[in-house]
Amino acid sequence: MRDRFSSDSESFSRVRPKGAARRGRRDAESEYDGYLAFTEFAAEYETDDQIQTSVSSTAPDGPPEGDRWSSWDQSTPTEKGPLPRPDWVVTELGAVDTELGIVKTGKEGDVFLLERAVPGTDRRSLLAVKRYRDGQHRMFHRDSGYLEGRSHKESRISRAMAKRTDFGKQAIAGQWAAAEFGALSQLWSAGVAVPYPVQIIGTEILMEFIGDMSTGAAAPRLAQLRAEDADLEDLWEQLTHNLSLFARAGYAHGDLSAYNLLVHEGRLVVIDVPQIVDVIANPRGRDFLERDVRNVGAWFISRGLAEHRVDGLARSLAFDARLS
């Protein structure tokens, strides 16, 4: 049975269950090896069919309600979000997961809505689940540029990725997922307004759902915000603060626009960060940083922000990133 939810920002079908500073960056990187998640995943699984078979075999007896038992215990400590965890994160082993429908489709993967709850209690949270497509089906059109320097520590996997074999394409999808999970973990710890990354399982990231918890309606993107609902000055201040935190950590978003910024109850949230760029190590780092500012700045300029403020932000971020 399906209930149709809709809002100004997103709509989706809901399925009812049948039964009812730099040192800081280095420290974070040493604590979380972004590629570890896929190394363990790749060693055990090589096809999507095997993944589904394994997940089914680990829980032959389903829960009395919901779609399946919580997958929390399937992730290792390095595959879970940074400490301290928010109180809303449901970690109880008796919790169940229920899929509620698809929130949006994207160029590299699709995002689903999932409820994780402990039966018989009020412990409940909504999660956004991003599932990366493998290289055969995904539409990310700049793999070669963004994957530069992301060779895998296992030569067998690196060769498969270079040759774009079926397994190599799946490995690339795993790298994108691991890169985004690692970036979200570092950025959240640095105070950037990003969704809290709950856990990663192979090519699937479970993260904080940004939207209305009672209806399951996702927050609108900045590009979808109606003029009468936009506090231009406040949103600009939030943007500059978050991009400054990016730059001070040595990063640029890499693909920033008004389409990967959400606005929930006046709060600006940055999403979609698998292509995050190290502006110091990447010879084009400053170009990526300035492009981010131009792309999202165009939305603000079209709504009345003075153009010189966009130019000033680009210079300020270059200073924050120690590029000038």
pLDDT at residue 7 greater than cutoff 80: no
User: Could you tell me where the beta strands, DSSP code E, fall in the chain?
Assistant: 2-6, 11-15, 68-69, 96-105, 109-117, 124-132, 197-201, 204-208, 251-252, 261-264, 267-270, 277-278
Candidates 223, 225, 199; CA nearest to 76 is 199
**Residue from 97, 272, 292, 320 carrying the catalytic annotation:** 272
Q: Are strands 204-208 and 197-201 parallel, antiparallel or unpaired?
A: antiparallel
**What's the burial of 243, exposed, middle or buried (CB within 10 Å: 0-12/13-18/19+)?**
buried
Comparison of pLDDT for 161 and 109, the residue scoring more: 109
**Residue from 255, 278, 287, 320 carrying the catalytic annotation:** 255
- CA–CA gap between residue 231 and residue 109 (Å, rounded): 31
- CA–CA gap between residue 214 and residue 15 (Å, rounded): 15
pLDDT in tens, 216-270: 999 999 999 987 888 999 999 999 999 999 999 999 999 999 999 999 999 999 9
**What whole-number percentage of the chain has pLDDT above 90?**
60
Give yes or no: 255 in active site. yes
pTM: predicted TM-score of the whole model, two decimal places? 0.75
Give yes or no: 278 in active site. no
- CA–CA gap between residue 321 and residue 318 (Å, rounded): 5
pLDDT of 305 reads 95
Tokens of 111: 């995002």
CA dihedral 309, 311, 316, 318 (to 10 degrees): 160
